[in-house]
A and B are shown apart, each in its own frame.
Chain A
Amino acid sequence: MSVTHYLVLAAILFTIGAVGVLVRRNAIVVFMCIELMLNSVNLTLVTFARATGTIDGQIMAFFVMVVAAAEVVVGLAIIMSIYRTRRSASVDDANLLKY
C-alpha cells in the first residue's frame, strides 16, 4: 500500500470519465463524466500534496473545485437553453454548425 494505489485509482477513474464523455449521448451525463475527471485529478493532487509534504496540492484541488462549480453553473445553463430551443438534451441534436 503506497501512494501508487491512489494514483492508479485516480488514473482509472479519469479514464472511465473520458470513455463516458465519448460514449454517452445525453449532454447532462457527459457533463457528469467531466465532473468525474475533475474529481480524479483532485485525488491525484491531494495524494501528491501528502507525498511531498507540501500544502500547495490541496490549495490547487481547492481551486479546481471552485472552477468546477462555476463551470457546472454555466454549462447547465447552456444545456437548459439548448433544450429550450431544440427540445432535446442529446449532443447529437446540436448539429446546426455542421452544415
Chain B
Amino acid sequence: MTDVAIGTGEAVVFWILGPVALAGALGMVFSRNAVHSALWLVTTMLSLGVFYVVQSAPFLGAVQIIVYTGAIMILFLFVLMLVGRDSSDSVVETLRGQRVAATVLGVGFAGLVGAGIARATRDTGIEGLGDAGGTGNIETIAGVLFTRYLLAFEVTSALLITAAVGAMVLAHIEREPGSRQTQKELSRARFLTDRPQTLPGPGVFARANSVATGALLPDGRTAEDSLATGIEPREVEQMPRPTGRAQLGSPDAALGTTDEPR
C-alpha cells in the first residue's frame, strides 16, 4: 500500500473551508427567508467544489460549480421568485415537540455516524489517484464512463428526457378554447365601467420620477389613481407651493409685474 500523505496546503484548505461549509449548511436550515437559505446553500456547494478539486477530482469540482451552483440553484431561485419569496416558513409546529425531537435525533445521528466513521477509517491510508487525479482526470473518467459504465450512461439520457417531459407536463396549464376573453369583450367590459379612460401616470418631480411616486392633483393632493398597486407609495420632498389668491395676491403681484412697492 503506497500511502500518499496529505500536505499542509490541503489541511489549511480543509480547516478554512470545512467550517465555511458547515456554517452554510446551518445557515440554510436556520434562516427564515428561503432566498437566504438558497444563498447559504450556494456557499456550502462552492466549498464542496473546492474540496473535490483538492481531493484529485478537478472535473467533478468544475461540474459541481457549473451544474449545482450555476444551474440547480438558479432553478431554485427562479421557482422561489415564481412562488413568491415572501412565502416564508410558518413557525407553527404541526406536531408538538417535533423540532426538539428532530434536533435531538440529528445530534444523536451525527454523533453515532461520526464516531463510527472516525473509528472505522482511522487507519485508512490514501492510495491516491496519481495522474488520474491530476491532468489525466478527464481522460480517465471518460475512458471508464464510455466503456464499463456505458449502459448506465445511456440510461441517463432516458432519465433526462423523462425529467424534461415530466417538468413540461407538470408545469403546463391547459386552457379551454374560448375561456380567454377577446379584445372586443375586454374593451366592452371596460367601457361599461365608470372609468373608461386610462389611469393617470405617476408623478414626475425634480427629485423622483419612479412609479412609486403619486401624481399631484391641481389642489396639491396626491391622485390616488396614479399610485401603482403592489408598491409602497413614496413620499417626495417638494417645495412648499403657494396656492390660491390668498397667498399670491393679485395676478400682477404673483407675476411680479406690479408697479406698486409692497
Write out the residue numbers on chain B whose beta carbons fall within 8 Å of the beta carbon of A97.
none
Q: Is the CB of B141 within 8 A of A80?
A: no
Q: Report whether over half of chain A's contact residues are helix, strand or loop; otherwise say mixed.
A: helix
Q: Is the CB of B106 within 8 A of A19?
A: yes
Q: Which residue of A lies closest to B31 (CB)?
A: A29
Q: Is the CB of A8 within 8 A of B167?
A: no
Contact with B along A13-30 (1 / 0, CB 8 A): 111111110111110110
Q: Is the CB of A51 within 8 A of B163?
A: no
Q: Is the CB of B28 within 8 A of A33?
A: yes
A1 within 8 A of B: yes
B10 within 8 A of A: yes
Tally the A-B contacts, defined by beta carbons under 8 Å: 235
Write out the residue numbers on chain A whose beta carbons fall within 8 Å of the beta carbon of B221.
none
Min distance, Cβ A75 to any Cβ of chain B, angstroms:
9
Min distance, Cβ A40 to any Cβ of chain B, angstroms:
8
The residue that B28 contacts in the complex, of A36, A47, A50, A51, with Cβ under 8 A, is A36
Q: Which residue of A lies closest to B44 (CB)?
A: A36
Q: Is the CB of A22 within 8 A of B167?
A: no
Q: Is the CB of A46 within 8 A of B72?
A: no
Q: Which candidate, B96-104, B196-204, B227-235, B248-256, is the interface stretch facing chain A? A: B96-104
Q: Is the CB of A35 within 8 A of B72?
A: yes
The residue that B18 contacts in the complex, of A5, A22, A68, A72, with Cβ under 8 A, is A5
A74 within 8 A of B: yes
Bound: A49/B140 CA distance, A: 13
Q: Interface of A with B (CB < 8 Å)? A: 1-9, 11-20, 22-26, 28-29, 31-33, 35-36, 39-40, 42-43, 46-47, 49-56, 58-59, 61-63, 65-74, 76-81, 83-84, 88-90, 92
Q: 4 nearest interchain CB pairs?
A: A53-B127, A19-B106, A70-B163, A77-B170
A55-B132, A59-B145, A90-B89 known, 6 other contacts, Cβ within 8 Å: A3-B124, A4-B118, A13-B25, A25-B94, A42-B60, A71-B163
